[in-house]
Amino acid sequence: MPLFGLGLHVLIALFFAVHAMRHGKQMYWLIILFSFPLLGSIVYFMVEYLPASRMQRTAGKVANAAIGFIDPEREYRAATEAYDLAPTAQNKLRLAKAALDKGQAADAVGHYRDALKGPLASDPELQFGLASALMAAGGPSAGRDALQALQTLRSTRDDYRNDEVAVLTARALAADGRNTEAREAFEAALSKYNTVEARASYVVWLAQQGDAAAAQRQWDELQQAARHWNSHARSVNREWMRQAGDAVRG
């Protein structure tokens, strides 16, 4: 049993070592992981693996949604006060995210662009936020500008929120009028990640294109999957389901 336990620790450390190498992490992680397999794996999981995982993002979205339901203005007020007290790049980024969540997409675009001029210019969260804000704000160049932001993001961190970046790229291609590429991008996102966001966004786009039959097929598959969700999954995906359902119903 002790030998089995030691082997398991090493296998877990090896898994995280492969993750570190594939995602361009600092080489000192390899030393930590193989010098202290158990402790090193725990530290790597908490510091590097978990913050980038979909599970962490989902938990954060649920918490933010709950707070927003109780007091919709709370985070925006706090972000504004924090930036007024200390106009740092981090606080500018927080204000941009709060403005986007509040539905003030045009303001969010301005805040994100301002933050890009500071020390966080290469931050993938900032580039992703800018692309999201541009798409929410709309306008004739929204898709093209969002694609440019996403291209910059990939050149900096090609492993950042791959599932969400794939869907946002498809939506940006559609907004830029590149419908053939948009369809391919939606189908690629579904094939690789098969997230609710990807399928719901595809349903909305298909309905907008007038392809009612294809939109209905995708909606039926989404509803079939939803029958197996627990209450948490239904809560997390409620808005995506609403958007897809409204699109199909016209």
Q: Provide Rg for the chain, Cα atoms.
A: 20
The owner of tokens 């909606």 is: 219
Using one digit for the tens of pLDDT, what is the confidence trace for 160-195?
999 999 999 999 999 999 999 999 999 999 999 999
Using one digit for the tens of pLDDT, what is the confidence trace for 96-118?
999 998 899 999 999 999 988 87
Q: What is the per-residue pLDDT for 66?
A: 45
Q: Would you place residue 3 in the very low, low, confident or very high pLDDT band (cuts 50, 70, 90)? A: very low
pTM: 0.71
Across the chain, what does the average pLDDT equal? 85
Cβ–Cβ < 8 Å for 173, 209: no
Collapse the DSSP code of 124 into the 3-class scheme (helix H, G, I; strand E, B; otherwise coil) and give the result: helix
Burial of 198: CB neighbours in 10 Å, binned 0-12, 13-18, 19+: buried
Using one digit for the tens of pLDDT, what is the confidence trace for 139-165?
999 999 999 999 999 998 888 999 999
Whether the predicted pLDDT of 72 surpasses 60: no
19: nearest Cα among 9, 30, 28, 10: 30
Output DSSP code: residue 195: -
Using one digit for the tens of pLDDT, what is the confidence trace for 16-66?
788 777 766 677 777 887 788 788 778 777 766 665 555 455 545 544 544
Whether the predicted pLDDT of 1 surpasses 80: no
Q: What is the per-residue pLDDT for 36?
A: 81
Cβ–Cβ < 8 Å for 174, 205: yes
CB atoms within 10 A of CB 58: 14
